[in-house]
Amino acid sequence: METCLCGVAEERIGSALDELWRVCRNGLIFGSVTSDLTPTVLDQYDLLRGVQRLAIWWEWSEDLFNAGFGLAIQDTPMLNRLWEKTMAARRGSGPWYRNPEALRYCFFRKIPENADVTLIRASGHQ
């Protein structure tokens, strides 16, 4: 469970992601603060304290892709089950997650160093 990348200085993000990839066994749940969150949530939970890089989910996912991670949830039925649980926990369709796609970009898997990343991303295979 990653919750601290947003606290890393911009110039150190690349090396922090390299280290995260090195120590991860299978993958990670991305939990850093993003600018996709509403100002109300950011203020209510004081989420901007210590933040050095505020980016949208898409920017963070691009960073994670470039570091050797891929989306862990490609299967739509699995995403739908996860979304149902998110809605039951009252975290979906609101300030935390607006839709299943937003939730999809929180789960990343580690792609082996020798894998052809282009083929994995293009095919959507896990």
Which pLDDT score, from 0 to 100, does residue 123 have?
45
Q: Which residue has the higher pLDDT, 82 or 122?
A: 82
> pTM, whole model, 2 decimals?
0.83
Do 30 and 110 touch, CB atoms closer than 8 A?
Answer: no
Instruction: Name the pLDDT band for 50 (thresholds 50, 70, 90).
Output: very high
Over residues 13-40, the mean pLDDT reads: 93
pLDDT bracket for residue 19 (50, 70, 90)? very high
Looking at residue 28, its amino acid is: L
- More confidently predicted of 76 and 124: 76
What length is written for the chain?
Answer: 126
Q: Quick one: pLDDT at residue 122?
A: 45
Distances (CA, A) of 47 to 56, 116, 124: 14, 37, 33
Q: Which pLDDT band holds residue 114 (cuts at 50, 70, 90)?
A: confident
